Amino acid sequence: MTWLITLAVLVAGIGRTYAQASVTVKVASTLQQIDGFGVSQAFGRAAEFRDMLSGDPQQQGLDYLFNTTTGAGLTIIRNRIGSGTTNSDSILPKSPGGPTAAANYSFDDDDRGQVWFSQQAMKYGVKTIYADAWSAPGFMKTNNNENNGGYLCGTPGHTCSSGDWRQAYADFLVQYVKYYSARGIPITQLGFLNEPDYVTSYSSMQSGANEAASFIPILYDTLEKNGLSNVSLTCCDAMGWNSQKTITQGLVSAGMEKYLKYITSHMYSSDPNSVMPTKLKTWQTEAADLQSRWCATWYGSGGQCEGFTWANKIHNGLANANLSAYIYWQGVEVNQFQASSYLVASDGKTLTPSGRLWAFAMWSRFVRPGAYRVSTSGSVSSTGITAFKNTDGSVVVVFLNSGGSQQSVKVSFSDFTPGAAEAYVTDNTRSVAPVTATLSGGAVTISVPSRGMLTVKLTAAT
C-alpha cells in the first residue's frame, strides 16, 4: 500500500508541474511609466573602478553594467554631490564667510571619478543621471559639520548665528549641475537630501517635511533663473518606504507636488510594497544587502545576497508600489569581498557578476526607458507577473516563479498581435539564456523554471 501512495503523490506532482496556466496581457491598460534601473559609484568607487581596473577588465565591468547584450543594460546612474572640506569632495570646501558672500566655487574635473563614470555610461546610451547631495556643506548647517546630521540653517526651527543658508545651498547645488553641463554631462534629476531620517558619522543632514518644504521652492526658482528648468527635482531618499510615506504626506499637504517630479526612497528600514501617497513618479534610489559577504548565488536558501531575493524585491516594487525606477547601491567594486552591496566583483584581474546583476538584467535589458507597465489577468501558481509596453511597440512579460515546480504558461494579448517572440531565462544554471517561446494563434507558450525568472519579448505582427 505504501508504494501505491508514493506513486499517487508522484503522479499528482507531475500533473502540477506540467498543468498549463493562462494569462492575458492587456496592452492598452497602462499603469506607471518606467524610467529605468541603475547603480551608483559614489564615495570614490567610480575612481577605484577607473584606476584599479584597466583594459579588458575595465571594459568588461562597464559591459556588465550597461551592455544590453552581455550585461544588465542599466539606464540610470546616481552620483553624489560632495559636501566635504577638500577640493576633491566639494565645489565649495570652505565657507565664503556668510550666506550672501560671494562663493569661490571650483571643480576638479574628476569628482572622485564620477565624471569619468558618467561619460562611460553615456557611451552606452544612458541618459538619466541623478545627482543627489547627502548633506549641505558643514558651514551651512546647525552643527557646523557635514557629518552627524544637523539641519540646514534657515529651515523652520533651525536658526544659526551665521544666517539663513537656504539660498546659498540652492546656488551650490545649481552650480554643481552647471559644472557637469559644461562638460557635456546633463544632470536630469537633482536631489538635496539623502536619508534625512538617519544621523550617521558620514555625510548626513536631517530634515522632515516642514524643512524640505521651506527649501524646495527656493531650489526650484534657482534652477528656473539659471535656465535649468529641464532638471527635475526629487525628494527625499528616506531610509525606508514607510518613513518616506510619512514625509511625502507632509510634502503633499504643503503643496510641494507642483515643484517636484519624483518622490524617492531607500529600502533599508522598509521595502517598497505599496503605493506612495502622491501623484508623482516614485523611485527606489538606493538598495543593497549590507549584511552579507560577497555572494554570486542566484538561489540557495533565500539569503539576502541572492539574486532571486532581489528579483522578488524588484518585482514587488514594480507590481505593488508602482515604482518607475529601481537603483542598487554600487555597481562594480575591487577587492571588497567582505560585502554584497554591489553587483559585480573584481580582484583586479577577473570580474564576477552576481545573481543580483542578472535579476536586474531580466527587466532592464528588455524594459527600456519610457515603457509603461500594463495590466494582466489570470494567475500562475507561486509566480509573479509584470508586463510592459516599450516605446518601440514591443511587449515584455516577466515571470518570477517562487515555487518548487516548473510552470507552463500560455500568454494571450488584448490590443496587440504578436508576430515574433523571444524568451530568456535565469536560474541556478543559466543567466539571461535564450530558451524556446512557442508562438501560435496570437498566443505564446513558455515554461518558467522553479525559483527562476523568464522574460519574453514580443514584437508586433506587421
Q: For 403-437, how does the pLDDT look when each residue is reduced to its tens digit (9 = 90+)?
A: 999 999 999 999 999 999 999 999 999 999 999 99
- What distances in angstroms separate CA 114 from CA 117, 283, 370, one per listed residue? 5, 21, 25
Identify which of 121, 144, 117, 148 has the alpha carbon closest to the alpha carbon of residue 134: 148
In this structure, are residues 385 and 399 in contact, taking their beta carbons and an 8 Å threshold? yes
pLDDT one-digit tens code per residue, 289-341: 999 999 999 999 999 999 999 999 999 999 999 999 999 999 999 999 999 99
| DSSP H or E run through 459 | strand 452-460
Q: Give the mean pLDDT of the chain.
A: 96
Cell of 339: 560585502
Q: How many CB atoms lie within 10 A of CB 213?
A: 22
**pLDDT above 80: residue 15:** no
Task: Give dist(CA 84, CA 403) in Å, integer.
Answer: 48
**pLDDT above 60: residue 395:** yes
**pLDDT above 70: residue 3:** no
pLDDT one-digit tens code per residue, 121-157: 999 999 999 999 999 999 999 999 999 999 999 999 9
Instruction: Give the model's confidence band at 6: pLDDT under 50 very low, under 70 low, under 90 confident, else very high.
Output: very low
In this structure, are residues 124 and 67 in contact, taking their beta carbons and an 8 Å threshold? yes
**Could you report how far apart the first and last alpha carbons of the chain are, in Å?**
59
**pLDDT above 70: residue 239:** yes
Interacting residues of 81 by C-beta distance below 8 A, sequence separation 6+: 131, 132, 133, 134, 173, 176
In this structure, are residues 203 and 147 in contact, taking their beta carbons and an 8 Å threshold? yes
- What distances in angstroms separate CA 398 from CA 74, 113, 225, 345, one per listed residue? 17, 35, 43, 26
**pLDDT above 90: residue 10:** no
Identify which of 132, 143, 136, 209 has the alpha carbon closest to the alpha carbon of residue 168: 136
Query: Mean per-residue pLDDT for 108-125?
Result: 98
Cell of 80: 553624489
**pLDDT above 60: residue 355:** yes
